[in-house]
């Protein structure tokens, strides 16, 4: 069967989120294959070994969301990844017991069969694409072959997000080398900080109605928050003591420099209209703003500060306090959390986010252990 599917929607709809694109793709699929009732993508996070829900389109009102699991604890998907093979399950009810959590969720909502495809780019596992149906045996015969065009469209959508992150990240690495930055803590700081960011976002997701797509983009882009520092001299970045007023003004200039770099790199990479860029710009441009207006560079107040920047600022402050720097000894986690609470009480930090972060201090310790701090 000939299938006329336009790729232009994925490339030209600058205002479309990945969730919007997935819903559009699902409509196209169901025009030809009405028995496909759900399409979903789970991403693989190699740094943590986690498989995480990302985007989906389905006919249920309670989609599987805010769910993550170590890939090593899902043997069936681990095997697909290692073999780079797709899989058809003809009837979930015929699978051996006990059923996995994902299968239990699918069965409880009436899904009976599935087609699963691992997504790769240049040998790197990106995640998995799932097609599910309420009809047993829906993916027998030619249907998996007919779905290949949609597999590639979904893969392109995911790659657009990673290309945005990698384009800026690559530029930062080159710039760091040119600037001779010597802060050996930087890489581990970024791993810890972005992991804290994801913890906070997951904990406040229901309060602020965040979806997996927003959380994942926040996690991907948060390590780029300080990219403007590539233009700040080491004599200021690594000064073992307080900065004077002139030095402080130069240091604060890294925010506007970072936004300028983002805009220039995105323009050069042809990604200037991508819908995910707003989150990145907000993180870079607003992560030093404080809710009471005492932050910089614009003195924004309250809800004028995007949520993504409010979350990043908490994670960044906490890691700065608990890590050793040339000008300070590390604070304990308890001391750092107490300082975050004081800043929240003074109306500077988002109280919901601070409270959420304090509630998962055990996971914070595990992140510190994994990425270079004793906790």
What 3-state class would DSSP assign to 186?
A: helix
Q: What angle do CA 127, 185, 235 make, to 5 degrees?
A: 135
Residue 358 pLDDT: 97
Residues 210 and 359 in one domain: yes
Pairs from 346-350 (Cβ < 8 Å, separation ≥ 24): 346/292, 347/291, 347/292, 348/290, 348/291, 348/292, 348/294, 348/295, 349/290, 349/291, 349/310, 349/313, 349/314, 349/317, 350/291, 350/307, 350/310, 350/311, 350/314
In a domain, 137, yes or no: yes
Q: Give the Cα separation of 112 and 134 in Å (integer).
A: 5
Q: Out of 52, 135, 173, 229, which one is annotated catalytic?
A: 229
Q: Which of 127, 159, 191 is the last residue in one of the domains? A: 159
> Within this chain, do residues 189 and 334 fall inside the same structural domain, yes or no?
yes
Cβ-based neighbour number of residue 351 at 10 Å: 14
The CATH number given to whatever domain includes residue 17 is 3.30.450.40
Q: Are residues 115 and 253 in the same domain?
A: no
Strand (E) or helix (H) holding 202: helix 186-203
Asked whether residue 196 is domain-assigned, the answer is: yes
**Does residue 253 lie within any of the structural domains?**
yes
Residue 141 belongs to a domain: yes
pLDDT by 10-residue block (mean), the chain, 375 residues:
43 63 92 97 92 95 94 94 96 94 95 96 91 97 95 85 66 53 60 95 96 92 87 82 90 92 79 77 96 97 97 96 82 97 98 97 94 69
Of the candidates 223, 300, 207, the one whose C-alpha atom is nearest the C-alpha of residue 47 is: 223
Note whether 184 and 138 are same-domain residues: no
Does residue 240 form part of some domain?
A: yes
Integer CA distances (angstroms), 125 to 38, 81, 84, 222, in order: 22, 7, 9, 21
- Asked if 361 and 255 sit in the same domain, the reply is yes
Cα(289)–Cα(283) distance, integer angstroms: 10
Does one domain contain both 219 and 363? Answer: yes
* Same domain? 142 vs 187: no
Nearest by Cα to 117 from 155, 91, 90, 64: 155
185 & 153 share domain: no
Q: Note whether 196 and 340 are same-domain residues.
A: yes
The pLDDT, as a whole number, for residue 169 is: 62
Q: Are residues 99 and 230 part of one domain?
A: no
**Within a domain: 331:** yes
Residue 239 designated active-site: no
Pair (148, 184) in one structural domain: no
Number of domains in the chain: 2
175 in a structural domain: no
Q: What is the pLDDT of residue 174?
A: 61
- The predicted model scores a pTM of 0.85
Q: Is residue 375 a part of any domain in this protein? A: no
The CATH number of whichever domain residue 214 belongs to comes to: 1.10.3210.10
Q: Do residues 344 and 357 touch, judged by C-beta distance below 8 A? A: no
Domain around 236: 180-370
The C-alpha atoms of residue 22 and residue 16 are separated, in whole angstroms, by 10
pLDDT of amino acid 263? 87
């Amino acid at each position: 069967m000939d299938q006329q599917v336009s790729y232009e929607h994925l490339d030209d709809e600058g205002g479309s989120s990945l969730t919007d694109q997935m819903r559009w793709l699902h409509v196209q699929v169901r025009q030809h294959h009405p028995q496909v009732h759900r399409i979903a993508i789970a991403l693989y996070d190699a740094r943590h070994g986690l498989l995480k829900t990302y985007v989906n389109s389905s006919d249920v009102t309670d989609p599987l969301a805010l769910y993550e699991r170590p890939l090593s604890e899902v043997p069936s998907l681990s095997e697909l990844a290692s073999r780079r093979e797709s899989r058809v399950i003809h009837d979930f009810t015929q699978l051996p017991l006990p059923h996995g959590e994902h299968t239990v969720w699918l069965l409880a909502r009436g899904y009976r069969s599935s087609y699963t495809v691992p997504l790769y780019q240049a040998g790197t596992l990106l995640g998995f694409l799932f097609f599910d149906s309420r009809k047993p045996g829906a993916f027998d015969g030619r249907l998996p072959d007919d779905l290949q065009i949609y597999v590639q469209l979904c893969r392109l959508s995911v790659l657009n997000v990673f290309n945005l992150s990698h384009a800026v990240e690559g530029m930062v690495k080159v710039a760091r080398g040119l600037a001779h930055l010597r802060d050996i803590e930087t890489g581990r700081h970024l791993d810890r900080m972005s992991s804290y960011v994801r913890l906070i976002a997951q904990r406040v997701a229901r309060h602020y109605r965040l979806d997996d797509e927003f959380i994942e983009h926040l996690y991907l882009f948060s390590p780029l928050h300080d990219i403007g520092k590539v233009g700040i001299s080491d004599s200021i970045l690594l000064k073992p003591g307080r900065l004077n007023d002139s030095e402080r003004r130069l240091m604060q200039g890294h925010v506007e420099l970072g936004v300028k770099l983002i805009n220039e790199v995105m323009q050069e990479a042809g990604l200037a209209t991508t819908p995910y860029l707003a989150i990145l710009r907000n993180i870079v441009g607003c992560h030093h703003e404080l809710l009471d207006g005492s932050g910089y560079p614009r003195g924004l107040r309250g809800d004028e500060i995007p949520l993504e920047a409010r979350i990043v600022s908490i994670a960044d402050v906490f890691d700065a306090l608990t890590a050793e720097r040339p000008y300070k000894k590390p604070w304990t986690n308890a001391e750092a959390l107490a300082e975050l609470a004081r800043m929240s009480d003074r109306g500077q930090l988002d109280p919901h986010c601070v409270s959420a972060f304090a509630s998962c201090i055990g996971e914070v310790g595990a992140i510190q252990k994994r990425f270079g701090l004793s906790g």
